[in-house]
């Protein structure tokens, strides 16, 4: 019977890639502070920029991200400070959000387009950047706050608008603990 915990551990490690569709375990600071579902088949990554933790789901040029900001040592002490930063602005203009209802919850969703460098760091030549279309929402959670974002990197100008179905499902699944 001693092998039962070992076999259970192996079974958990062998979970299919679609397992990200389930609510994320509390194994990182972001997942410990909120519940959310990533799209089936998308790659899940977690990490941090100093004190600011994040979880990212990606598929090709699409990316969903949950950032937990505002804690001790964070780059942004408040959501207002984040919204005034270059990270939230589009073309130097202040972020302007539109209230969106998803299920029974309301989110203020911001849109922005930014430039992202391409190629290896230090090897960039003139004009070596892509445009990034992004939607993001700021969700207060006590003394901290979350930034939920959905973006698409465009190597050439996008021919079609960003499909917001994945974004809407992601927002519907998000719940701070």
- The pLDDT assigned to 12 comes to 32
Measure the CA–CA gap between 22 and 173, rounded to whole angstroms: 10
Beta bridge partners of 175: 35
Query: What are the residue boundaries of the structural domains of the chain, listed by start?
Result: 20-176
- The pLDDT assigned to 93 comes to 81
- The pLDDT assigned to 164 comes to 85
Instruction: With CA atoms as reference, report the closest residue to 158 among 137, 128, 136, 130.
Output: 130
- The pLDDT assigned to 160 comes to 63
Reading the block at residue 32, the tokens are 């410990």
**What is the distance of C-alpha 156 from the center of its chain?**
23
Measure the CA–CA gap between 120 and 13, rounded to whole angstroms: 33
CATH of region 20-176:
2.60.120.1690
Residues of the chain with pLDDT under 70: 1-26, 115-130, 155-161
pLDDT tens readout for residues 26-38? 478 999 999 999 9
């Amino acid at each position: 019977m001693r092998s039962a915990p070992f076999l259970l551990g192996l079974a958990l490690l062998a979970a299919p890639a679609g397992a990200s569709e389930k609510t994320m375990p509390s194994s990182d600071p972001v997942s410990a502070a909120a519940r959310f579902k990533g799209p089936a088949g998308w790659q899940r990554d977690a990490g941090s920029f100093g004190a600011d933790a994040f979880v990212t789901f990606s598929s090709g040029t699409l990316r969903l991200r949950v950032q937990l900001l505002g804690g001790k040592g964070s780059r942004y002490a408040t959501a207002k400070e984040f919204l005034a930063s270059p990270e939230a602005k589009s073309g130097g203009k202040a972020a302007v959000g539109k209230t969106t209802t998803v299920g029974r919850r309301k989110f203020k969703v911001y849109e922005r387009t930014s430039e992202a460098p391409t190629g290896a760091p230090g090897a960039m030549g003139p004009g070596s950047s892509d445009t990034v279309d992004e939607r993001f929402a700021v969700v207060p959670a006590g003394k901290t706050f979350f930034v939920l974002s959905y973006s698409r990197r465009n190597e050439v100008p996008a021919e079609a608008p960003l499909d917001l179905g994945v974004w809407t499902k992601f927002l519907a699944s998000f719940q701070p603990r």
